[in-house]
């Protein structure tokens, strides 16, 4: 892991939990001059942190801005590889587009591209994705699992299970997964996942997991056209959510369940997915590229395909569709 001096100073201030940190001690530990420490502190303040200098005692971190910078995420991160390399933007077109380029250029397993805002966020099925500045989590994770391309789609369900678990742990809300990977709270969408594959016929080069979580938006932040189908974590539990903590938790569970999947296959993930889903047993409408089918969702197969029983009694496997409950 490559942590910059600025990140180390910030981590020390955060870990001091309101106690003063001596400038001389920082300088000695990091082997740089007091002047350099002061310059880094100024740069940290420019990022929105409030630092108080107390004579003869040192520096106290008074408040932390709600940002998803590496400096905020790394101290909360408990992973081996995921998120150990974070590429942060205040604004970009789409983290998914940047991640696809970086993956082609050889970015390592676990690299994260994250932005406070996206000006051209991409959703599934060529839709756009509303990505208000500083209110949500807009990130793409590059993973390089040793699996063959036919299994890559299952990673979509792995991601849904991981994000569902992270949201539950950070907020105490009880989200549910709509097949394949929308996350809903009280029937409204709080998270979307876009999984893209870079592969040859027999080998996966990378899977790019694009994750959009509506975190601290008010209703008015959403476009009118989606106000009746979208929600945010704050709208559901009435409290601001620490976005960097949620990012760290999502990466933790993505690594945990990703490793479990690679080691043990889809079966344990299927059980977790089923226990959090809100699709199975319901009457649904599945809109696909060439047809729309209606019926009862019977379950998912051992490969993650949704099985639908039509009114005629025929059972059809759904591989990719827009589902209406």
What residue numbers does the annotated binding site for biotin cover? 118, 189
When binding is defined by CB under 6 A, the residue of 212, 258, 295, 304 that contacts ligand BTN is: 212
Per-residue CA distances from 287 to 11, 186, 200, 292, 312 (Å): 48, 22, 29, 4, 18
Calpha distance 32→46 (Å, rounded) = 21
- Rounded to a whole number of angstroms, the minimum distance from the CB of residue 265 to ligand BTN is 26
DSSP count for the chain of H helices, then E strands: 9, 14
- 67, 149, 154, 145: which is closest to 110 by C-alpha? 145
When binding is defined by CB under 6 A, the residue of 23, 58, 83, 121 that contacts ligand BTN is: 121
Residue count of the chain, please give it.
Answer: 325
Q: Per rule CB under 6 A, is residue 58 in the interface with ligand BTN?
A: no
Calpha distance 116→10 (Å, rounded) = 20
Q: Per rule CB under 6 A, is residue 193 in the interface with ligand BTN?
A: yes
Contact track, ligand BTN, 76-95, x by CB under 6 A:
------------------xx
Options 55-63, 121-129, 219-227, 240-248: segment touching ligand BTN (CB under 6 A)? 121-129
> Which residue lies nearer to ligand BTN by CB, 94 or 244?
94
Calpha distance 84→82 (Å, rounded) = 6
Contact track, ligand BTN, 131-150, x by CB under 6 A:
x------xxx----------
How many C-beta atoms surround the C-beta of residue 69 within 10 A? 19
Calpha distance 298→308 (Å, rounded) = 6
When binding is defined by CB under 6 A, the residue of 69, 85, 96, 216 that contacts ligand BTN is: 96
Contacting residues toward ligand BTN, per CB under 6 A: 94-96, 118, 121-124, 127, 129, 131, 138-140, 182, 192-194, 210-212
């Amino acid at each position: 892991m490559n942590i910059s001096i600025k990140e180390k100073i910030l981590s020390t201030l955060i870990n001091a939990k309101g106690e003063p940190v001596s400038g001389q001690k920082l300088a000695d530990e990091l082997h740089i001059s007091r002047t350099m420490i002061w310059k880094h502190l100024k740069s940290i303040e420019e990022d929105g942190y409030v630092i108080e200098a107390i004579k003869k005692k040192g520096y106290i971190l008074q408040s932390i801005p709600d940002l998803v910078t590496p400096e905020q995420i790394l101290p909360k991160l408990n992973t081996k590889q995921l998120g150990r390399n974070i590429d942060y933007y205040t604004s970009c077109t789409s983290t998914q587009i940047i991640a696809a380029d970086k993956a082609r250029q050889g970015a390592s397993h676990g690299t994260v591209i994250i932005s406070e805002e996206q000006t051209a966020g991409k959703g599934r099925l060529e839709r756009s994705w509303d990505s208000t500045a500083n209110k949500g989590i807009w990130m793409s994770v590059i993973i390089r699992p040793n699996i063959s391309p036919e299994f890559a789609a299952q990673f979509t369900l792995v991601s849904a299970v991981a994000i569902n678990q992270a949201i539950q742990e950070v907020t105490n809300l009880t989200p549910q997964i709509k097949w394949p990977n929308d996350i809903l709270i009280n029937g409204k969408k709080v998270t979307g996942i876009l999984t893209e594959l870079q592969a040859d016929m027999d080998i996966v080069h990378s899977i790019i997991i694009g994750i959009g979580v509506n975190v601290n938006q008010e209703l008015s932040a959403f476009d009118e056209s989606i106000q009746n189908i979208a929600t945010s974590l704050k709208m559901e539990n009435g409290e601001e959510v620490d976005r960097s903590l949620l990012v760290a938790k999502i990466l933790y569970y993505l690594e945990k369940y990703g490793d479990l999947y690679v080691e043990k296959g889809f079966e344990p993930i299927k059980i977790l997915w089923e226990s959090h889903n809100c699709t199975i047993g319901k009457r649904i409408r599945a809109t696909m590229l060439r047809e729309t089918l209606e019926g009862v969702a019977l379950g998912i197969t051992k490969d993650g395909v949704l099985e639908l029983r039509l009114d005629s009694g025929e059972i059809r496997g759904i591989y990719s569709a827009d589902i209406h409950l």
